[in-house]
């Protein structure tokens, strides 16, 4: 029994999920699994869809402890027929499945296109055919902005992606808005900045620098920072990111919107690594020349203005960078072997 749709205010968004039929694509991944844990606490009826592709972020250990409160369905969002079957009775879809490596997208643009572009269309088509009542919250990315014209970047900034992944994520996002506007499939996109925290993939370095830096610090290894490390970023702890999804999924005022979700603090790579090494009590830093291929898709400093999202939903990040790094390091210390395979470790430590 699903409760009736509530008029959501700013404080009762958590109640909204009691018994709510929710689906999370990419639900065994980094943000998805942390969101699933929140939904388990809130008593939602949670269906996790994940492909568990080895090189991607899905990891069964991410669901450790909530196995009996969620339902896992292994499926690939590229399989249209599976999506058509899965979306049918869901009230809210948190659409987080994606190919997230910028680097991989430049090596193999077609796979990125299939997952981030075509599969998004097929999820929305499935909703149009079989579940027009649903609300979809899409995991967008600050990456669609490319190299910023001004800082902080708000939603009025032009979309001008600097890599293939950014182009395909932009298209995936546009589809969501279009289905909201034309087909009444309520949908919005959260353009996330750098999210970090427990349950992030750290077994290779192709999914963003922060998880990788955390791993290197943990292992007492040298962290290489490109250039002088003065480029700025904002960071969001994964619990805060999960909270943003919960708020958007319960709030009709987000429908049809593109909303930045970014951090409070602006931190240089240089300072990030300094703090990280300090908290970890291990690891070191070395500044190196930019590799040519990475330099070409680098976007310089970036931080975002999330005031629209805050204004609509009351969201604000609660976990400071220091506290977040502390919790993250503690998590990986405890569960290191679940995230780093022996072979991959040998590779790095060699």
Residues within the interface to its own copies (CB under 8 A)? 106, 109-110, 113, 117-118, 121-122, 125, 156, 158-164, 166-168, 170-171, 174-175, 177-178, 181-182, 296-297
Gap between the Cα atoms of 79 and 115, Å rounded: 10
- In this structure, which long-range contacts are made by residues 334-339, counting pairs with CB atoms below 8 Å and at least 24 apart in sequence? 335/61, 336/218, 338/59, 338/61, 338/64, 339/59, 339/61, 339/201, 339/202, 339/203
Nearest to 319 by CA among 249, 244, 211: 244
- Minimum CB separation of residue 122 from its own copies in Å reads 8
**Minimum separation from the CB atom of position 182 to its own copies (A):** 5
> Which residues face 140 on adjacent strands?
191
Whichever of 146 and 197 has its CB closer to its own copies, that residue is 146
Q: Rounded to a whole number, what is the largest CA-CA distance in the chain?
A: 58
Q: Contact 31/54 with Cβ under 8 angstroms?
A: no
How near is the Cβ of 156 to its own copies at its closest, in Å? 7
CA–CA distance, 46 with 24 (Å, rounded to integer): 8
In angstroms, the CA 83 to CA 119 distance is 9
Nearest Cα to Cα of residue 98 among 84, 119, 80, 81: 119
Least distance in Å: CB of 72 to its own copies?
28
CA dihedral 23, 26, 32, 36 (to 10 degrees): 40
CB 118 to its own copies: min, Å: 6
What is the nearest approach in angstroms of its own copies to the Cβ of residue 174? 4
Shortest Cβ distance from residue 296 to its own copies (Å)?
5
Rg of the chain in Å (alpha carbons) = 19
d(CA 294, CA 209): 12
β strands within the chain, DSSP E: 21-25, 45-50, 70-74, 92-95, 135-141, 186-192, 194-196, 222-226, 232-237, 258-261, 266-268, 284-288
Closest to its own copies by CB, 108 vs 271, is 108
- State which residue, 45 or 163, has the beta carbon closest to its own copies: 163
Instruction: Give 164 or 187: the residue with its C-beta nearer to its own copies.
Output: 164
- What are the residues facing 224 on neighbouring strands? 286
Task: Please tell me whether residue 346 adopts helix, strand or coil conformation.
Answer: helix
Which residue, 163 or 239, has its beta carbon nearer to its own copies?
163
Specify the residue, 68 or 293, whose C-beta has the smaller distance to its own copies: 293
Minimum distance from CB of 154 to its own copies (Å)?
11
């Amino acid at each position: 029994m699903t409760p009736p749709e509530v008029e959501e205010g700013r404080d009762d968004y958590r109640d909204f999920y009691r018994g709510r039929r929710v689906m999370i694509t990419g639900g065994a991944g980094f943000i998805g699994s942390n969101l699933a844990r929140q939904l388990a606490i809130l008593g939602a009826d949670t269906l996790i869809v994940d492909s568990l592709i080895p090189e991607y972020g899905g990891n069964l250990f991410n669901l450790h402890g909530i196995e009996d409160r969620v339902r896992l369905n292994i499926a690939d969002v590229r399989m249209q027929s599976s999506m058509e079957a899965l979306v049918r009775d869901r009230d809210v879809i948190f659409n987080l499945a994606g190919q997230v490596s910028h680097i991989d997208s430049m090596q193999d643009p077609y796979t990125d296109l299939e997952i981030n572009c075509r599969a998004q269309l097929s999820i929305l088509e499935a909703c149009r055919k079989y579940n027009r009542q649903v609300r979809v919250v899409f995991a967008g990315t600050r990456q669609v902005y490319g190299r910023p014209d001004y800082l902080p970047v708000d939603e009025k900034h032009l979309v001008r992606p600097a890599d293939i992944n950014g182009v395909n994520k932009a298209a995936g996002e546009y589809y969501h808005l279009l289905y909201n506007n034309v087909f009444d499939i309520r949908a919005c996109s959260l353009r996330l900045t750098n999210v970090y925290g427990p349950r992030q993939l750290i077994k290779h370095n192709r999914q963003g620098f922060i998880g990788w830096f955390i791993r290197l610090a943990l292992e007492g290894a040298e962290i290489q920072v490109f250039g002088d490390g003065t480029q700025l970023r904002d960071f969001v702890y994964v619990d805060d990111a999960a909270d943003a999804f919960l708020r958007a999924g319960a709030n009709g005022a987000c429908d049809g919107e593109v909303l930045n979700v970014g951090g409070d603090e602006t931190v240089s790579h240089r300072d990030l690594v300094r703090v990280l090494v300090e908290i970890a009590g291990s690891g070191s830093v070395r500044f190196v020349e930019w590799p040519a291929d990475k330099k070409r898709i680098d976007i310089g400093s970036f931080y975002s203005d999330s005031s629209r999202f805050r204004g609509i939903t009351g969201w604000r990040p609660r976990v400071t960078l220091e506290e977040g790094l502390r919790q993250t390091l503690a998590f990986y210390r405890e569960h290191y072997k679940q995230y780093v395979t022996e072979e991959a470790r040998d590779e790095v430590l060699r």
